[in-house]
Amino acid sequence: MGSLDVPQPDYDVLIIGAGLSGCYACYRMQQLNLKVKVLEAGSSVGGTWYWKVLDEWNWSEHFAPQEETERYIQFICDKYELWKSMQFDTRVKSAHWQKDGGFWKLTDDSQREYTTRFLITGIGLLSDPTLPNIPGVEDFKGQAFHTSRWPSKHVGFEGKNVGIIGVGATAIQMTPEIAKTAKSLTVFQRTPNWAIPLHNSLIDKEGMDKIRAAYPETLKKINSARLSFLHADGDKSIWDDTPEEREAFWEYLYAQPGFGFWASNYKETLRDRQANALVSEFVAKKIRQRVHDPWTADKLIPKTYGFGLRRLPMETNFYEAFNRPNEVTGAFDAIDIRGIDGHRLLDEWKDGPRTYLGITVRRFPNIFMSMGPHQAYGNIPASIEYALYIEPKEDSVQKWTDHVHELGQGLLSNEVDSWLTGVNKNVAGKQKRIIARYSGSAQDFRRQCNAVAGAEYETFELR
């Protein structure tokens, strides 16, 4: 590992974040008998919100709420004894590569230091909240909550005047619930959002037995689907159907639970402007049918971008909430990551992310990203079992980044400002669009990762 004169790191692997990807990485590192520690800013596991289905677990709903998802992750930590490798209430502020020792040094917000041979980031894309860029918002004297930092104790809204800023995914889920008890609810939106019904339902014992028996086939379908959803891939052409056939097809998809309307729609939906306009008008018609007041309905229909071009929220009675008399309409930057010679990750990515396989970055050895930019799903190279130093070669980084950009050509979503294209209007310097997503299929992504392993990681520098 090194001479006695060179300080040895505290850990073989440090993992930032105890969400699903962080827990899975911890499980795999323990299997390799590596000394591992997970550093989590929160007070328990869960991350912003599957890596293995357990026969012992019984789900109560087809789309589990936050509390049940959290209990499931805690159950996983119990079963695989992950708690011993976890440290909570620890927010990492910096991660700097130490050239002399060949390891990473991390510092948390209490100035405690940790050293590790390998670093895995499981912080995802949604872990660092931003306040609305509204003058005076920090001076508000009433109770204020950010949905990603919700207090653990019960928050009651009975008889209160409540305002919700924004109509993102979480706000769309919260609005109908708060509207049930609040004295008044005002929703402040800058840009309306497309949303479709979740169609959630409870699962009884008989239903759970059927789901459990179908696990092998379910996982097979998920692994073979382009988007890894339990929905058929959208391979029909919109131009092969008559207007009446399209309408019937959309009505069928709209009534299905989950992401079927987005994942199984016509193949031209996200690339052809005319096709996208037709799909958008169908969803707009549904909004008008569900919201009684025409003026309010019109305000809830996006005019500047088409359906499916931003992250698609799923809703339950969101639009119906505006029919109530009390309703009124109105993550990597967070850590100072420095690689070889103190080179900052922010500088490396100032013109957009440059990665290899969405997992590694040139000039940042021994660090692996789970659920970062340019990847379909988290994947940690098996070379961690034996390598002391691993860094992607420059030509590998350039080829992969070019490949990601080529896949993104023609996608209408890359013409829309959203966090999926790196734009956050509440943060200075986040106004430039970038291509941050790998838009190929999940199977293609896995094949390319497996090909790298099959070629004995020749696209990396290994020492």
**Per-residue confidence (pLDDT) for residue 380, from 0 to 100:** 39
Q: Say if residues 48 and 124 touch (Cβ distance below 8 Å).
A: yes
The 10s digit of each residue's pLDDT in 202-218 is 999 999 999 999 988 98
Share of the chain above pLDDT 70, in %: 84
**Per-residue confidence (pLDDT) for residue 47, from 0 to 100:** 62
**Per-residue confidence (pLDDT) for residue 384, from 0 to 100:** 44
Tokens of 157: 């809204």
The 10s digit of each residue's pLDDT in 396-439 is 999 988 888 888 777 787 777 654 555 444 444 544 555 566 77
**Per-residue confidence (pLDDT) for residue 50, from 0 to 100:** 39
Which range of 118-127, 187-196, 249-258 scores highest in mean pLDDT? It is 249-258
For the cut 50, the answer to whether the pLDDT of residue 306 exceeds it is yes
Q: Say if residues 238 and 268 touch (Cβ distance below 8 Å).
A: yes
Q: Which residue in 277, 196, 203 sits closest to 238, CA to CA?
A: 277
**Per-residue confidence (pLDDT) for residue 164, from 0 to 100:** 87
For the cut 60, the answer to whether the pLDDT of residue 459 exceeds it is yes
Q: How confident is the model at residue 304 (pLDDT cuts 50, 70, 90)?
A: very high
- Distance, CA of 403 to CA of 409 (rounded, Å): 10
**Per-residue confidence (pLDDT) for residue 401, from 0 to 100:** 86
**Per-residue confidence (pLDDT) for residue 5, from 0 to 100:** 63
- Distance, CA of 304 to CA of 177 (rounded, Å): 28
The 10s digit of each residue's pLDDT in 37-96 is 999 988 888 665 433 456 789 999 998 888 898 899 999 999 999 999 999 999 999 999
Q: Which amino acid would we find at residue 407? A: L
Q: How confident is the model at residue 352 (pLDDT cuts 50, 70, 90)?
A: confident
| Kind and range of the H or E run holding 391 | strand 390-392
For the cut 60, the answer to whether the pLDDT of residue 118 exceeds it is yes
Region for residue 341 given its phi and psi (left: phi exceeds 0; alpha: psi -120 to 50; beta: otherwise): left
Report the b/e string of 206-233 with b at 16+ CB within 10 A. eeeeeebeeeeeeeeeeeebbbbbebee
Region for residue 363 given its phi and psi (left: phi exceeds 0; alpha: psi -120 to 50; beta: otherwise): left
Distance of CA 101 to the CA centre of its chain: 34
Helix pair angle (442-454, 215-224), 10° resolution: 80
For the cut 60, the answer to whether the pLDDT of residue 374 exceeds it is yes
The 10s digit of each residue's pLDDT in 434-450 is 556 677 887 888 888 88
Which range of 25-39, 43-57, 153-167, 227-241 scores highest in mean pLDDT? It is 25-39
The 10s digit of each residue's pLDDT in 314-351 is 999 999 999 987 655 556 667 889 999 999 988 888 77
How much is the mean pLDDT over the chain? 84
For the cut 90, the answer to whether the pLDDT of residue 366 exceeds it is yes
**Per-residue confidence (pLDDT) for residue 62, from 0 to 100:** 92
Q: How confident is the model at residue 227 (pLDDT cuts 50, 70, 90)?
A: confident
Burial of 144 (C-beta count, 10 Å sphere; 0-12/13-18/19+): exposed
Question: Positive or negative CA dihedral for 305, 311, 312, 318?
Answer: negative
- Distance, CA of 270 to CA of 435 (rounded, Å): 15
